[in-house]
Amino acid sequence: MKLTIQKLYDELYDNLGPQGWWPAEDKIEIIIGAILVQNTNWRNVELSLAQLREATQFDPEQILNLSEAALQTLIRPSGFYKNKGRAIISVLEWLQQHQYDFKAIDKMYTRELRNELLKLRGIGFETADVLLVYVFERVVFIADTYTRRLFTALGVPSKDYMDLYNKVTLPEDFTALHAQEFHGLLDEFGKLYMTSKGVKGQTFLDEYFVL
């Protein structure tokens, strides 16, 4: 790759500005949003979140007290509502076992916490890492689809999520805020300039592309 991770971050930040991602008022909302956004766009997620907010105020106990059918109806706009409903319940029941004590959970080492999250139904690598970055404020690289497309154009191809995840090391002085912003910037660039076939149009990163 022709530029460092820090240089990539700086180029993205200077050209796109702060993204302020993840848009949510509390950790429960972030968790649910991270599950709902799987295989859909954020506009659909917002519809589901609005309905869930009105019905439960994102109180985890209220959500757990919903019937499976009621929860699925509320999150239907996000698609795959049966699987996503089960994933939401799985994560909330896990949090319930920890008395919703995020400070206590935060005492786990990042690798241990990631493994715990990956054991939960419906939580894959990307969602686990999103939760680590935005809920538990860990410095973790999120190798989602947009990011893999960009890194391929930059000369770092990958065969899947974990392949790129293992190839990228974030700078030692990166904070959780940097990790959060980096993911937001990478996704914003992807939405603007990347397709499944590669880069579309001219971009401010063109000089670094190898394809």
Domain count, the chain: 2
Please indicate, yes or no, whether residues 67 and 102 belong to a single structural domain of this protein: yes
Please indicate, yes or no, whether residues 200 and 153 belong to a single structural domain of this protein: yes
Going residue by residue through the chain, which has 211 residues, state the pLDDT in tens, using 9 for 90 and above.
889 999 999 999 999 999 988 988 899 999 999 999 999 999 999 999 999 999 999 999 999 999 999 999 999 999 999 999 999 999 999 999 999 999 999 999 999 999 999 999 999 999 999 999 999 999 999 999 999 999 999 999 999 999 999 999 999 999 999 999 999 999 999 999 999 998 999 999 999 999 6
Please indicate, yes or no, whether residues 194 and 125 belong to a single structural domain of this protein: no
Please report the pLDDT score of residue 211 as a whole number.
Answer: 66
**Final residue belonging to a domain, choices 134, 153, 185:** 134
Please indicate, yes or no, whether residues 121 and 80 belong to a single structural domain of this protein: yes
Please indicate, yes or no, whether residues 175 and 153 belong to a single structural domain of this protein: yes
Please indicate, yes or no, whether residues 76 and 166 belong to a single structural domain of this protein: no
Please indicate, yes or no, whether residues 170 and 98 belong to a single structural domain of this protein: no
Please indicate, yes or no, whether residues 98 and 187 belong to a single structural domain of this protein: no
Stated as kind and residue range, the H or E segment containing 28 is: helix 27-36
Please indicate, yes or no, whether residues 173 and 201 belong to a single structural domain of this protein: yes
**Final residue belonging to a domain, choices 86, 119, 134:** 134
Long-range (24+ apart) CB contacts under 8 A made by 23-26 are: 25/58, 26/58
Instruction: Report angle CA 28, 38, 45 to the nearest 5 degrees.
Output: 60
> Which residues span the domain enclosing 54?
27-134
Q: Could you tell me the CATH number of the domain that includes residue 101? A: 1.10.340.30
Please indicate, yes or no, whether residues 57 and 118 belong to a single structural domain of this protein: yes
Stated as kind and residue range, the H or E segment containing 189 is: helix 176-193
Q: Token pair of 193, please?
A: 């300039």
Q: Which residues are 198's β-sheet partners?
A: 195
pTM: 0.95
**Final residue belonging to a domain, choices 85, 110, 134:** 134
What distance in Å separates the CA atoms of residue 21 and residue 19, rounded to the nearest whole number? 5
Give the residue from 152, 140, 156, 135 showing the smallest Cα distance to 194: 152
Please report the pLDDT score of residue 9 as a whole number.
Answer: 99
